[in-house]
Each structure stands twice: as C-alpha cells, then as structure tokens.
Amino acid sequence: MITNDTLREIVSQVWEVQLGLEFNPVDTPERDTAQVYSMRVRINGSWNGEIRACAGRKGAAVIAKAVFGLDLDDLSERDIADGIGELANIVGGNARALLDGRTFIGLPELIERCSGCEPQSQNAIVAVDVGGDVVVFSSRLRPGEQDAPHRSGEDLVTTTESS
C-alpha cells in the first residue's frame, strides 16, 4: 500500500532531484480548476489502481519547463500535457517499485476532468505549491490477484517483481 508518507517522499525526491524545484507541500489540494491537466498511470497485477498527477495550467507549465528545459513562452499545450504525463509516469514507477508482488504499469493517459484527485477517493494524496498553483498527486491502489497476468487490451509496458 502507498501511504501519504510514502507518496510524499516519492514526490519530494522527484520534485527536488529530477525537476530541480523547491518542494513546498500544502495541506489542502485546492487549485485553479479553470484549465486542469490530469494524467494517470495504471498499475495492475498484485496491486490494481492508478497514480494521478493533476495541475492547473500554470503549475503544469512550470513542470513542463523543468522536464523539457524550455522557456515558458516556448511550451506548446502538448508539451504541457506531456510534462504532467512524464511526472505521473516517474511517480507511478517509483510507487510501483515499492509494491509487493508482480505489477505492471501502463503509459500515461490524459483524463478530461480531475475529479478523481479528491481526497475521499484516494489511499494517499499529496499537494504541492508551484508558483501559486497546486499540483495534486494521488494514489488509488487495492490488492489484486497474486501473480496476475496483464489484462489484454490494456497498454501495459513494464513488468517486474518487487521484493
């Protein structure tokens, strides 16, 4: 199971080491909902569920700038969405590595609305301030079938066993 403390540690490490940004967690996951970028990576196998990253446009643009090394003015909408997707993928991969049993992780998927990042539907949630916007990371995982094969029709790319 991924707890709030575990998710916070993963996000903090990714935020500071890989993005080179200051980690400023906030208690409430409130954000500008006018334009929200929401990406998820699905995890299946011994654990089933997903890791999500949701951000308003401003926060998503700051992340994309850090991921791709581009100026804010040079970022396309696709770059911004891809930046959040890459971040969800990195956080999801780190979370998956901590789960017992055989698990598979899918490719990042764009979600139209970010309602799934609400605290009541998650095992763990972490909110980070980025330039006045809030980026919300959430984990919704439950035990699955032991040594479950990956489901056909799902775009799953990685398979390893954790111990």
Residue 151 lies in a domain: no
Report the predicted TM-score, pTM, of the whole model to 2 decimal places: 0.82
One DSSP character per residue, 131-142 reads TTEEEEEEEEEE
Count of structural domains within the chain: 1
Q: What is the pLDDT of residue 17?
A: 95
* Domain assignment present for 122: yes
**Residue 65 belongs to domain spanning:** 4-146
Whether residue 157 is contained in a domain is answered as no
pLDDT given at position 162: 43
Q: Residue 61: which pLDDT band, with cuts at 50, 70 and 90?
A: very high
pLDDT interval class at 74 (50, 70, 90): very high
- Does residue 96 register a pLDDT over 90? yes
The set of residues, in sequence order, having a beta carbon less than 8 Å from that of 92 and lying 6+ positions away, is 41, 43, 50, 51, 105
Instruction: Establish if 132 belongs to a structural domain.
Output: yes
**What per-residue confidence (pLDDT) applies to 79?**
95
